[in-house]
Copies of this chain bind each other. A is one copy, B any other.
Amino acid sequence: MTQQGTRQGPGLASQRTAPPTRRFASVVRAGSRVTPERARSHNRALVLQELYRSEGLSRADLARAVGLTRVTISDLVADLIADGLVIELGLRSDVRPGKPATLLDINRTGFAVVALDLSYDNLFRGVVTDLDGTVQHRDQTDVTGVTGDDAVAAVAALLDRLVARAAAPVLGVGVGSPGIVDDAGTVLSAPNLGWADVPLQALLAERTDLPVVVANDANAAALAERTFGGGQEDAVLIRVGRGVGSGLVIGGLLVRGAHSAAGELGHVVVGTDGGDVCACGKSGCLETWLAIPRLQARLEAAPDAEARRAALAAAGERLGISLAPVVGALNLGEVVLSGPLDLLDGSLLESAAETIRSRTMADAFGGPAVRMTTLGRDIVVLGAAVMVLTGQLGVF
């Protein structure tokens, strides 16, 4: 063989034998064989997703958007109509040549989702929504001093009442719970509710005979922000309340973590200059700077408005300090805060944003957007509803 040195062109060695003709672009997760049936339900989910995002599409529109042929789309749509998930809206009234299209939409009020938020102080809240996330009914129950099995019973009772009030078949139940929740919906640890290894998903699924999904409240909130709040594909949601939690969305997918504990940011120590002692035993945890009770105490101790502003700014700075490495390492595009507007939305948020920018590499895009959620107090129940939609319809 001749010496090629730095000669241009492909090396001869690679041409002695023909390389395999086919290329495999798909990266595959273990145990995920694709049968024709699975492929079909995947394509069904694609159609639903497209309809979910933009109502008023025709079968031909769907074919163009999804990439399947009109014939296949017609077949899939017929299935979906038969299942009651899709409805025909009538003919399109456009002025253009050709046969007028029949517009379709998801049957948005044809099914209901029941969603619960267990993360409030002494209160369980729940809603019934349609497939759009529009709240159709609310309910709540006081759980002051209620823990352990009694708290589980309170969840079940609230859930029963909500399911009874649903005006359409219930697609499933979503629950946002405080604490650490594993993939199977078992609450591994929720100190405030006195829960340890409570198989909430299994308990509620057996009781209601409905699909049930359980996840951490801040994680659910992150999903809600992604789906209903216009959140980016790479974002973190910080939930400030009695404690501090967070949910991370990376590449559009929720991060669960090695031990299902992703988002547990409240007990990470911030800075290198000490800080207050935390309930967890360490000093200077993010919670000691940012949790609402601590923040309110500082505000009450402040002599004047300027001191109050400084206290909020200091809390925001601490948040920024702890988020900067996360934003940098993950190259997040967005940081969203959820919690009391009067405390968070102002100098606290501004200070957090400025701190993050000054401590990370200001890339060509000017650092991440830092903002409040627009979803308000419903963010967790909406996230719980998203989990149901994702699990049952493949929509997200």
Interface residues of A (CB under 8 A from B): 4-36, 38-39, 41-46, 48-49, 66-68, 83-85, 111-112, 156-157, 160-171, 188, 207-211, 232-234, 236, 246, 248, 250-253, 255-265, 267-273, 280, 282, 321-326, 328-334, 358-361, 363-365, 368, 390-394, 396
Contacts of A330 in B (CB 8 A): 248, 255, 257, 262, 326, 330
Can you pick out 25 interface pairs between chain A and chain B where the beta carbons lie within 8 Å of each other? A5-B160, A6-B160, A11-B208, A13-B170, A14-B112, A19-B111, A19-B170, A19-B171, A24-B48, A26-B394, A31-B67, A32-B42, A33-B43, A39-B39, A251-B256, A256-B331, A257-B332, A258-B333, A265-B325, A268-B324, A268-B360, A271-B272, A272-B273, A323-B325, A326-B329
Contacts of A273 in B (CB 8 A): 272-273
Contacts of A210 in B (CB 8 A): 10, 14
Contacts of A252 in B (CB 8 A): 29
- Contact (Cβ within 8 A) A164 B332: no
- Contact (Cβ within 8 A) B45 A28: yes
- Contact (Cβ within 8 A) A163 B10: yes
- Contact (Cβ within 8 A) B390 A27: yes
Q: Give the Cβ gap from A240 to chain B, nearest Cβ, in Å.
A: 15
Contacts of A18 in B (CB 8 A): 169
Which chain B residue lies CB-closest to A141? B6
Contacting residue for A393 out of B24, B44, B162, B323, CB 8 A: B24
Q: A33-B66, A262-B330 are known contacts. Are A169 and B17 too (CB-CB below 8 A)?
A: yes
Contacts of A236 in B (CB 8 A): 329
Q: A42-B34, A163-B11 are known contacts. Are A392 and B23 too (CB-CB below 8 A)?
A: yes
7 cross-chain pairs, A with B, having the tightest CB-CB distances, nearest first: A257-B331, A258-B333, A11-B163, A11-B164, A4-B164, A271-B272, A269-B359
Bound form: Cα–Cα A322–B272 in Å: 11
Bound form: Cα–Cα A322–B22 in Å: 44
Bound form: Cα–Cα A13–B326 in Å: 45
Q: Give the Cβ gap from A29 to chain B, nearest Cβ, in Å.
A: 8
Bound form: Cα–Cα A19–B328 in Å: 45
Bound form: Cα–Cα A262–B257 in Å: 17
Q: A21-B83, A166-B14, A329-B236 are known contacts. Are A250 and B255 too (CB-CB below 8 A)?
A: yes
Contacts of A10 in B (CB 8 A): 163, 207-210
Which chain B residue lies CB-closest to A167? B13
In addition to A11-B170, A14-B112, 17 A-B residue pairs with Cβ atoms within 8 Å of each other are: A6-B160, A7-B160, A8-B160, A13-B163, A13-B166, A13-B168, A14-B169, A19-B169, A19-B170, A20-B84, A23-B211, A24-B48, A33-B42, A36-B39, A38-B39, A250-B255, A251-B256
